Amino acid sequence: MKSYAFPWGIYIGDLIDNNDTIPLCLDSKQGGFCVLFDEDSEQIANNFIENIALKLFEVLAIGDIVVDIFDFSHKKRFMHLSLLQNEKLYDIAFNQNTAINKFNNIEEIALNRHHTILTPNAPTISEYNQQSKFKEQYHLLLINLDSFPDEMTSQKRIKNFFDSAYEAGFYTIAFANQEILESESKATQAILNRFSHINIEDKKIHLTKELFEFVEMVDDYEFEYVNDNKDKIIENLLTQLKQEDSSSLQKDFLSIPIGTSKNGRDIIYFSMGDKSGNLHAFITGVTGSGKTTLLNNIITGIAEKYTSDEIQLYLMDYKDGVEFQVFKNHPNCKKIFLDNEDLEASISLLEEFRDSMRTRATTFKQQEVKNITEYNQLNPQNPMPRIVLIIDEVHKLFVGDYNYVDRFSSILKPLMRQGRSYGVHIILSTQSLAGTQIDRELMGQITLRISYKLTDPTDSETIFTYGNTEALNLKKYELIYNNNAGNKNNNVLCRAYPPVDIKSVIDDVLFLREERLILKPIIVKSKEKVEEVTKEVKVSTPYSSVESKYSTDEEDDILARLEEMGIKPNVGGLE
């Protein structure tokens, strides 16, 4: 069974004689070691280091460790490890600029972990990962000392980082030709002085008392360094990655591509569900930054990828009452609220959601299942859809009268807490949270936080966490995707996709989809619209008897709504 704990020892090989084979491990609490080699032994050193790294991948769960390499060599040094690059488990800095940026990033991760994560009860990331729901990735640093650090790098900065790196989840293997011992770089000497050395001369590894107090005993044994079949190890790792992705019981119910990584190689997905751990989302960005485009692309993507048996949408627009009109034919939409003045509409809908959750709870109890996933596995022919509520410009619901804000929050919080089990999910979007009274507990329920360009540091720190103000530096159509409740270490810079042709996509979906899977959204407007449209269809029932504030654009929808309230209107020309 794999553990979230970092291994206590780093396996480097075996001591062998005629009768015994003794595994040899370095104490991982030393934080790392240096491998120094002569001119003829560089390939042996590369093989030795790569095998140690692959062994760590075998010991730890997939995704728990990533390799960060500083190496300016023209030829790729670690061929097998590099195959993990597409899986985001291998990253290399191969020139001075990328090395400086990489070190800045890992230094910031370490500082953040020391100051915001580690505690007396969890003084190392290894102990933290055994206790916490949210795991921090371990980093294996492979540093070619001939490449980094250079003479311009601060000795004090290097020393401070490596003296505390192990506690923050970093393990280091530095390597270089033995000539590096004569380096005049104080930063390089700081690393050489920090870690013990393994020397490789004449293609043979020499163990020293610096590493093992019992080194005299080694003379009676032959040392055989770890040298497993790297092809087999990497094949197993890649196979395992594919199997975990395809067969995991934890799956996301929603996954829509929204852009690419900064280098353009990796697709970034808007994901919600058990696999990602994202049950609700918060999206923000100033006017013109691209926020509306993202919302529209997500809503359109749901029509393309999921049927109404899988996901049903409720859209509320508190902007101008027009943004969501473009989705009036969306086949997954149940209701679209377009009255940007009627704040009570949100309360009514949340109460409706609360009642739906109670109904689902009763159904689950009758069928002896705990959540929507188990229910749908038991009822594949009649699945229960996920419900997604999207509220644009939600800040209007968190300003003004305290009693109203408190009422809204008091209904919304339990919906978010219990949403996982009952398949109720909420996406909130706004330009700014300035002057709002948003509840901290409510924000604590939202792990997925996305931001386009912001101009107010307070907004950025409200959406993310204290000190996380990277959204202030974004360019147009760039966004930060963070799926760990705003933790700065989990910021992912994404270049968002341009707007899609909504009408064209929806028309194509409607043409191909079975009629039974097409929903006709109820377009909900204000009381004034009720009167206007009701007159048009010649409803003779006095308006004073109509208790609801809402109605729809279509005659059939109005009649259905009135009938739901127990009112049987007489319509001219209809019986």
Number of residues that this document lists for the chain: 575
The verdict on whether omega for the bond into residue 149 sits within 30 degrees of 0, i.e. cis, is yes
> Whose CA is closest to 149, among 128, 123, 176?
176
The total number of structural domains in the chain stands at 3
Q: What is the pLDDT of residues 133-160, one digit of tens each?
A: 668 899 999 999 999 998 778 999 999 9
Are 401 and 414 within one domain?
yes
Phi, psi of 450 (to 5 degrees): -125, 135
Q: What is the pLDDT of residues 370-419, one digit of tens each?
A: 899 989 989 988 999 999 999 898 887 887 777 778 888 888 888 888 88
Phi, psi of 148 (to 5 degrees): -150, 140
pLDDT value at residue 86: 76
Whole-Å CA distances, 468 to 438, 452, 464, 484, 487: 18, 13, 6, 12, 8
Number of helices and strands in the chain (H, E): 16, 21
Are 356 and 400 within one domain?
yes
With left for phi above 0 and alpha for psi between -120 and 50, is residue 535 left, alpha or beta? alpha
- Cα–Cα distance, 351 to 26 (Å, whole number): 59
pLDDT value at residue 77: 95
With left for phi above 0 and alpha for psi between -120 and 50, is residue 19 left, alpha or beta? alpha
Are 465 and 568 within one domain?
no
Which of 221, 242, 263 is where one domain is finished? 242
pLDDT value at residue 451: 94
- Whether 1 is in a domain gets the answer no
CA 487 to chain centre: 10
- Cα–Cα distance, 390 to 429 (Å, whole number): 8
- Whether 247 is in a domain gets the answer no
Query: Quick one: three-class SS letters along 113-167?
Result: HHHHCCECCECCHHHHHHHCCCCCCEEEEEEECCCCCCCCCCHHHHHHHHHHCCC
- Cα–Cα distance, 60 to 529 (Å, whole number): 61
Say what percent of the chain tops pLDDT 70. Answer: 87
Judge whether 497 and 257 are in contact, CB under 8 Å.
yes
- Cα–Cα distance, 252 to 263 (Å, whole number): 25
Q: Which two tokens stand for residue 305?
A: 């990828």
> Whose CA is closest to 526, among 282, 275, 340, 306?
340
Are 98 and 208 within one domain?
yes
Are 292 and 397 within one domain?
yes
Are 105 and 26 within one domain?
yes
Return the bridge partners of 571, or none.
539
- Whether 381 is in a domain gets the answer yes
Are 540 and 515 within one domain?
no
Are 537 and 505 within one domain?
no
- Cα–Cα distance, 409 to 355 (Å, whole number): 16
* Amino acid of residue 392: D
Please list the pLDDT of the chain residue by residue as tens digits (575 residues): 445 899 999 999 988 887 788 888 999 999 999 999 999 999 999 999 999 999 999 999 888 999 999 999 999 999 999 999 877 799 898 888 888 878 988 998 899 899 988 999 999 999 999 988 668 899 999 999 999 998 778 999 999 999 999 999 999 999 999 999 999 999 999 999 999 999 999 999 988 777 777 766 666 778 889 988 899 999 998 888 877 766 555 789 999 999 998 777 688 999 999 888 899 999 999 988 889 999 999 999 999 999 999 999 999 888 766 778 899 999 999 998 876 677 777 788 888 888 888 899 999 999 999 899 989 989 988 999 999 999 898 887 887 777 778 888 888 888 888 888 899 999 999 988 777 777 777 888 899 999 999 999 988 988 898 889 999 999 888 999 999 888 888 899 999 999 999 999 999 999 989 999 999 998 876 544 444 433 443 333 333 333 333 334 444 555 555 454 444 444 433 33
How many other CB atoms sit within 10 Å of the CB of residue 19? 5
pLDDT value at residue 478: 93
- Whether 82 is in a domain gets the answer yes
**E strands present in 395-544:** 424-430, 448-451, 478-482, 492-496, 522-524
- Whether 560 is in a domain gets the answer yes
Mode of pairing for the β-strands spanning 492-496 and 478-482: antiparallel
pLDDT value at residue 419: 85
Are 313 and 230 within one domain?
no
- Cα–Cα distance, 65 to 167 (Å, whole number): 15
Residue 318 C-beta-side C-alpha neighbours within 13 Å: 20
CATH code: domain of residue 39? 3.40.50.300
> Whose CA is closest to 262, among 105, 497, 104, 494?
494
* Residue 274 per-residue DSSP state: T
- Whether 555 is in a domain gets the answer yes
* Residue 195 per-residue DSSP state: S
> Whose CA is closest to 89, among 297, 198, 310, 240?
240
Whole-Å CA distances, 365 to 221, 360, 385, 415: 65, 9, 18, 18
Are 553 and 507 within one domain?
no
Are 331 and 228 within one domain?
no
Are 531 and 519 within one domain?
no
- Cα–Cα distance, 14 to 25 (Å, whole number): 9
- Cα–Cα distance, 318 to 346 (Å, whole number): 10
- Whether 50 is in a domain gets the answer yes
- Whether 3 is in a domain gets the answer no
Q: Which domain holds residue 185?
A: 9-242
pTM given for the model = 0.56
Alpha helices, DSSP H only, in 400-467? Answer: 402-422, 440-444, 457-463
> Whose CA is closest to 294, among 283, 304, 305?
283
